[in-house]
Structure 1
């Protein structure tokens, strides 16, 4: 199948990444980044004003009805203009905001959804508009420069009753792609025997002809084997008439995807990839491989669907703008993203990497995404987000997990935007395989399990040499911002937040400093919702020109989100209509019918993500569980 395979290494030391967090109860004596003074006042930036929704409770009720069989508005999804008329800002409200912006010398553009107004201007203009000064800061951690308000911005009184959130005053945050590689075990003098795969449903390459049957070298054909997609292909269901969209923060080479599909022998619709740059577009950079994965996986699962890639720079404002554009364009039947940050980075009053002791992000980013996701849901667009690759401790990949001087503790946390209740959070599993390293014996994972690399750490520490893989695994846990949504109200296994969870910085001069205490026993939204194979040890091949070509031993929940995106395209063709928000539908089916040979779900009963264990019911390690796509198709076509 492939002439040459090579593996990209995962560094076992976790570097710090700048991330803004918010809340009032944070200590102000954490060493700040260097304030380099006022940012250039003539620097041009994009700022988006998100407007307050009308009748938000009625909107959520309507969304429930669109995906509840028997309801008055079942599958009666709205157009963008209908959403604008019923729930968006009024023409008078928009005119008032635009008039105010013009008085400040700012032009503006209104989204057709009436959800937001985009504007661009200089930092000086926006500083004056929001009654703050915007400074340049230099991180003491990695030398990165960024700008942000030096004091909390204030919404102008004349438009404060209309505008809810303003994004774009800071370019401090940088999101991470949820993609990981197999550790460089070869450097430890080991030999991996994982190619001795156990039998899996579909018979490996004896099932789907594009499958490899080899763990670490799996293709979309293996995904079809694992999750019973092949019956749809045999019916001619290949995504025709569907459009899948990717929201990403790096551009990529479309030839990566066509090369991947060609190399595995997959016939696809030609000339089906379109690129839409937002806020200037993303760069070809270290995140380009993520975009390649997203396109290759979604487009490989649904080989005749059209693909639109909305790419933007890696800033909060651009990420929000890209999602808003994809949703308001309303050509996407389903949308996935594989980028995120810990949810708690949105609600502290201090940057935990020491960037500034005055933060202005608050929870505005969460609210901005939420408004967009509500619009997508009522328009029937299915949304998917990777839940993260740091198990139950989502801050570890950004901040580490040590207790030494200058280090941060690791509270139980979940990833955003996956934690929003109106997006489907994609979790990770490990599929059955056998493995051996160095002089150690061969061991096996005999059933699909929650992905967490503590099983590898235990093996290495026992047989080979000590190694620290904490906390690599499928993201999952309990949101401490979003309350438990209606569709999880009757789901057995849903958890509350754990007590005694704090983010603590061991200040070199002041000693341990508590930055944020998380609420205990909070009845929050649980993630993930659905999980598929994501462990790099049972992972995939993909093509990324920017990363050297063909790679193997790749994984992360960033494979699962686009796979669900592609599966939705198949379901859209099969049912003849958009699927809409998955969550209320899949939870209802699971709550009523449970698990069994005829249901769409397989319980993930074993493994853990370093805290939450697999179980014969919902669990925050794997959610509802893994899919049987053919069975899900039957349920959706019958109206269950």
Structure 2
């Protein structure tokens, strides 16, 4: 219907309309910052020491066996103590690190998994411990103050054989909630209502009674209709005996979730929400709507599952700590998160002064998350992360993109972290069928579930409103190729998996120094492809949710998909009688062996694009394997496929 070209170079006139796109905070590292000098000697900081795994190759092999039918350890998941004994740091190594910290005047707290040690100290103590100088900085973009080492920090040689990562020496990064609102262009979007292009979405005798069938007002009942969840409900599978975990960086009001479930007429288990505040907990702030969405969606899909909400401050070590706590507790059978940053934000080139612009080594957080995710996988905890809402160009929403001094003037193809990690399931986005018109223009329709990318709206505006009236680049479902994590074993034989594209650079136009290439990304890197599974995420075919006691309409983003998959996992756990474990090896095997068709667990996404990658009748970097047929997936998992 619309002419679309695969974009290998971007016109400099494109911009991003940020207003109204997200209720989450913008990343703090969108522009270079001003060095305010060394941090005061008595300034306190919290640091998490992530410890090296023992026998990591054996751990990865064991994980693979837990989700491979016929293997010796199929579905034989470990407890936290078993993980600590076999793969965490040894008792003697933990004691040695604690003793070393004590000599430096630092207290310590060890996770039961033996995977991390938390400590708090002054800037002077941490400078001495890590042979660095921690400075305070002020963002040139928004005035936010943060601290980070002025040079490369070094793990002390006495404990370097045990400690892998020191997270928290920098609190520069602020993670973004992957939540998008259709109100981004309300002024041009006044002629509604929209209608669903397929009557199957409407509630009826064969549908879910909590569904609305109305785009921008969809509920978890509509999700059940879209993706064939209702047969599980009809069998009494509602999440009983399951626990979903939410990892988030903002606090919220649990009453919003209960009000949402009540308003749509959904019966739920009472008193089911538990809150765990890590590192003092997150704030009630602009990201609280994200937490509300996560709880409402996961707990709505699985209405009788317990819900544990782990929240922490929006900082580097806050995110690491909250994930580590949720996994080490090992109570949640499945966990989702809807926060992230471009994978490249973790690269040395963008974090260490003087580093080469080709230095794509990780400054620590990618490795920290990876160790935690390996623990989750061997414990049978299914993990999900939103793949992002900036299409194939993940830096656009986080760093910005516009011509001229003071801006990033290139938008390289990038993916989001932690979704890019091979041991978490990346949740991508689609647009479900619906009809629409804008600003009095003619009615158009999306006639099949498609990769979510707002260039279809951009084309509509360019045709019927006028070119360059509004720019929506690059809003859409995140997807592409990691340039850090290698292609995992479960994607090795998957048709459609690609390598990274050449000529991808991140350029900042410094007002004083002029255009500066801050990062050159690897070409043809054989990397992990994301997303893995996608569901409806387009705000235009989107959802309603409750925030601060009020209903919000026209909401979307891959932050809806992650918790929906989380809730679906709770249903699958009840149905199968055991934890599901890491999804990725299982779903790729099912798809690679059985393909698409009437009895498939997946719907192929053959239309649409995320501004670079197109829908295909196979794996694609716009929608992954595709969307779900949950009832069919349940049959495969219960049968051991």
Give the TM-score taking structure 2 as reference length.
0.93
Partner of 1:11: 19
Query: Given the superposition, is the C-alpha separation of residues 96 and 183 from structure 1 closer, same or farther in structure 2, using an over 3 Å criterion?
Result: same
Partner of 1:342: 342
Partner of 1:512: 515
Q: How far is the alpha carbon of 1:150 from its aligned partner?
A: 1.9
Return the alpha-carbon distance in structure 2 between the equivalents of residues 304 and 120 of structure 1.
Answer: 39
Partner of 1:542: 545
Partner of 1:79: 79
Report the more deviating stretch, 468-477 or 360-369: 360-369
Query: Given the superposition, is the C-alpha separation of residues 184 and 526 from structure 1 closer, same or farther in structure 2, using an over 3 Å criterion?
Result: closer
Q: How far is the alpha carbon of 1:511 from its aligned partner?
A: 2.9
Unaligned runs of 5+ in 1: 1-8, 22-30
Q: Where do residues 416-435 of structure 1 align in structure 2 (5 Å cutoff)? A: 416-435=417-436
Query: Given the superposition, is the C-alpha separation of residues 16 and 274 from structure 1 closer, same or farther in structure 2, using an over 3 Å criterion?
Result: closer
> Does the alignment pair 1:496 with 2:499?
yes
Conserved 8 A contact 1:448-1:604:
yes
Q: How far is the alpha carbon of 1:155 from its aligned partner?
A: 1.1
Offset from partner CA, 1:344-370 (integer Å, 9 cap, x none): 01103335999xx9x999431000000
Offset from partner CA, 1:91-130 (integer Å, 9 cap, x none): 1111111110010011111111111111122222111111
Partner of 1:382: 382
Q: Any idea what SS the aligned residue of 2:373 has?
A: helix
> Does the alignment pair 1:177 with 2:177?
yes
Query: Given the superposition, is the C-alpha separation of residues 200 and 527 from structure 1 closer, same or farther in structure 2, using an over 3 Å criterion?
Result: farther
Partner of 2:9: none
Offset from partner CA, 1:75-98 (integer Å, 9 cap, x none): 000111111111111111111111
Partner of 1:556: 557
Match of 1:467 among 465, 470, 477: 470
Tell me how large the CA RMSD over aligned residues is. Answer: 2.1
Partner of 2:11: none
Q: Any idea what SS the aligned residue of 2:490 has?
A: helix
Q: How far is the alpha carbon of 1:271 from its aligned partner?
A: 0.3
Partner of 1:282: 282
Q: Any idea what SS the aligned residue of 1:98 has?
A: helix
Partner of 2:450: 449
Q: How far is the alpha carbon of 1:20 from its aligned partner?
A: 5.2
Conserved 8 A contact 2:35-2:138:
yes
Conserved 8 A contact 2:150-2:352:
no
Conserved 8 A contact 1:423-1:581:
yes
Conserved 8 A contact 1:20-1:346:
no
Query: Given the superposition, is the C-alpha separation of residues 352 and 61 from structure 1 closer, same or farther in structure 2, using an over 3 Å criterion?
Result: closer
Q: How far is the alpha carbon of 1:520 from its aligned partner?
A: 0.6
Offset from partner CA, 1:471-520 (integer Å, 9 cap, x none): 00000000000000000001000011001000011233333211111111
Q: Any idea what SS the aligned residue of 1:183 has?
A: helix
Return the alpha-carbon distance in structure 1 between the equivalents of residues 273 and 18 of structure 2.
Answer: 30
Conserved 8 A contact 1:439-1:464:
no
Conserved 8 A contact 2:349-2:519:
no
Q: How far is the alpha carbon of 1:18 from its aligned partner?
A: 4.3
Partner of 1:47: 47
Between the two proteins, the alignment pairs up a number of residues equal to 617
Conserved 8 A contact 2:34-2:137:
yes
Return the alpha-carbon distance in structure 2 between the equivalents of residues 13 and 66 of structure 1.
Answer: 40
Query: Given the superposition, is the C-alpha separation of residues 250 and 141 from structure 1 closer, same or farther in structure 2, using an over 3 Å criterion?
Result: same
Return the alpha-carbon distance in structure 1 between the equivalents of residues 278 and 313 of structure 2.
Answer: 8
Q: Any idea what SS the aligned residue of 2:430 has?
A: strand
Match of 2:527 among 520, 524, 527: 524
Q: Any idea what SS the aligned residue of 1:385 has?
A: strand
Conserved 8 A contact 1:278-1:311:
yes
Q: How far is the alpha carbon of 1:188 from its aligned partner?
A: 2.9
Give the TM-score taking structure 1 as reference length.
0.93
Conserved 8 A contact 1:20-1:351:
no
Conserved 8 A contact 1:337-1:384:
yes
Report the more deviating stretch, 128-137 or 441-450: 128-137
Q: Any idea what SS the aligned residue of 1:349 has?
A: helix
Partner of 1:199: 198
Return the alpha-carbon distance in structure 2 between the equivalents of residues 296 and 327 of structure 1.
Answer: 21
Conserved 8 A contact 1:340-1:388:
yes
Partner of 1:565: 566
Return the alpha-carbon distance in structure 1 between the equivalents of residues 551 and 102 of structure 2.
Answer: 51
Q: Which runs of 4 or more aligned residues in structure 1 lie more than 6 Å from their structure 2 counterparts after TM superposition? A: 12-16
Partner of 2:7: none
Q: Any idea what SS the aligned residue of 2:340 has?
A: strand
Unaligned runs of 5+ in 2: 1-16
Conserved 8 A contact 2:348-2:360:
no
Partner of 1:255: 255
Offset from partner CA, 1:25-74 (integer Å, 9 cap, x none): xxxxxx95222222232232221111111110110010000000000000
Report the more deviating stretch, 589-598 or 395-404: 395-404
Q: How far is the alpha carbon of 1:549 from its aligned partner?
A: 1.7
Q: How far is the alpha carbon of 1:451 from its aligned partner?
A: 0.1
Q: Any idea what SS the aligned residue of 1:340 has?
A: strand
Conserved 8 A contact 2:21-2:184:
no
Query: Given the superposition, is the C-alpha separation of residues 464 and 611 from structure 1 closer, same or farther in structure 2, using an over 3 Å criterion?
Result: same
